[in-house]
Structure 1
Amino acid sequence: MGDKPYTKIPIAECGEPLAPLPSVFVRLAPHPYQSLGAPYGSVSPFYLRLGVIAALERAQALLEPYGWQLAIFDAYRPIAVQQFMVTHTFTILCRERGYDPQQLEPAIASEIWQQVYQFWAVPSSDPKEPPPHSTGAAVDLTLADPAGHPLDMGGAIDEISERSFPDFYDRHPEQMNAACFAQRRQILYQAMIHAGFQRHPKEWWHFSLGDQLWAWQTQQKTGQRDIIARYGRVDL
């Protein structure tokens, strides 16, 4: 049900360590998943692989002409947190539809799980199929003004709706402020792409570099089938 095509990409782990995000980046606080009680333990969500941090710094430099900066929503995510958030999202969607998550008909449960996994990665414990955030190579972020206040991007991070699709406002120019939102998403995309990242096909805020999703998308764009992932799951 939650199978993703990128999970078949081979991983040749490079052994690069995780490191804390430098203070040059805005951190959105309080951290949303920690606030919900997600089981991070002593692990910080604001860690990434060293190479990914270096690429983020390049992306931020590309935003200087606009006077904007990157604001980090979420980065490293242990498997236990991925499982917590997937379950939490399922519960929220059930309640929004007026269902008791514990008393669902199989067909309805299957439909809601499909909606969950349209955006969320499967919290697989298989080291060959790690969720992107558990590799330290994926980051959820947005744009912020010089004072560190997030810009309105036309949809909230983690919102489960069509507004989360990167090109939503390009396809729906009749929406209020569509041109503004489309431009901001495009500016974020260009900065991140030029720094080496790939963007999640269905999430304007999710970017990765060096993980399976990045490798799969790079293969799709370049036709080079020998590109593989260099970052696998990291357990702290």
Structure 2
Amino acid sequence: MSELYTKPIPAVALPDWELLRKVPIDEHDDALVPVSLSQNIRVYPAYYKMRVVGAIPECFVRSRVFEKLIQAARTLPAGLNLVVLDGWRPIAVQQYLFDTLTNLIQRDQPSLDEMQRIAIARTLVSPASDDRNNPSPHLTGGSVDVTLCDDEGRLIDMGTAFDEASPLSWSAALEEVQGDTVVAAKQHRRVLYNAMLSAGFSNLPSEWWHYDFGNQLWSYYRDEPAAIYGVTSPDSIERLWQQQLSLTCV
């Protein structure tokens, strides 16, 4: 059996958020590109399909992330396909997700203070930030949420649903679970994890679906000296024309 199936996912801690804030960003200005144009990757923009206000019907990632995704997709065993659920994310969507989760935590656990609620929420959703020195990971175009499907497009069992608020959503959680019911899901997580890391990504340990390349999380977990992606956004026609007119006037 391939090492993709047999190599366990290591138990890793969440980042030290204060250290993460201090990771320098040496912006490389790679453009955002639409993942849906690839014939090697399936795209299902999950938040748009769930009708989250402000969510977009495309998954954009930085151009180098796009190439890494293709690399990961090509290493998957026959019958398994990479599915991208989310990439670059508008800050309004990030704010909605974070506010919704923290409000639910407050309702469910009213004795917690604000910092405790934020700490719990951060295992699933980052606070919304367009701070150029510490942006939300998905706002950089370097974060991507992924899963697997079969050749017919059926989503593969990964042990929990995408974005499920469960301790079993931690990437390595199934490594500690015994029994026949989790064998397939455990192997599928390993395949995804090992394929993505071999392509150069890092994984957020509390989310089996979340991977990073080029941003501060990637720098932190891959021990890189600096991140190469900060805040970005898809080109608008207004910004494109502004750039062209500026060049014309020089």
TM-score w.r.t. the length of structure 1 is: 0.84
CA drift at 1:231: 0.7
Please list every run of 5 or more consecutive structure 2 residues that lacks an aligned counterpart in the other structure.
1-14, 235-250
Give the match for residue 163 of structure 1: 168
Taking only aligned residues, the RMSD between alpha carbons, in angstroms, comes to 2.2
SS of residue paired to 1:73: strand
Give the match for residue 225 of structure 2: 227
Structure 1 residue identity aligned to 2:54: P
The answer to whether the 8 Å contact 1:71/1:148 transfers is: no
Cα distance between partner residues in 2 of 1:190 and 1:57: 14
CA drift at 1:93: 3.6
Cα distance between partner residues in 1 of 2:233 and 2:141: 10
Cα distance between partner residues in 1 of 2:38 and 2:130: 32
SS of residue paired to 1:141: strand
Structure 1 residues 101-139: Cα deviation after superposition (integer angstroms, max 9, x where no partner): xxx56x355443321122211212311001111000110
Structure 1 residues 190-209: Cα deviation after superposition (integer angstroms, max 9, x where no partner): 11111111111211100011
* 1:146 paired residue among 146, 151, 158: 151
1:108-187 mapped onto 2 (5 Å cutoff):
108-174=113-179, 177-187=181-191
Structure 2 residue identity aligned to 1:68: L
Cα distance between partner residues in 2 of 1:7 and 1:110: 17
SS of residue paired to 1:147: coil
Q: Which moved more, 1:160-169 or 1:111-120?
A: 111-120
Structure 1 residue identity aligned to 2:44: L
Structure 1 residues 131-153: Cα deviation after superposition (integer angstroms, max 9, x where no partner): 11100011001011001221010
TM-score w.r.t. the length of structure 2 is: 0.79
Identity %: 31
Cα distance between partner residues in 2 of 1:92 and 1:147: 36
Give the match for residue 223 of structure 1: none
The answer to whether the 8 Å contact 2:130/2:231 transfers is: no
> Aligned pair in 2 of structure 1 residues 228, 109: CA closer, same or farther (>3 Å)?
closer
SS of residue paired to 1:6: helix
* 1:197 paired residue among 188, 201, 206: 201
* 2:219 paired residue among 209, 215, 221: 215
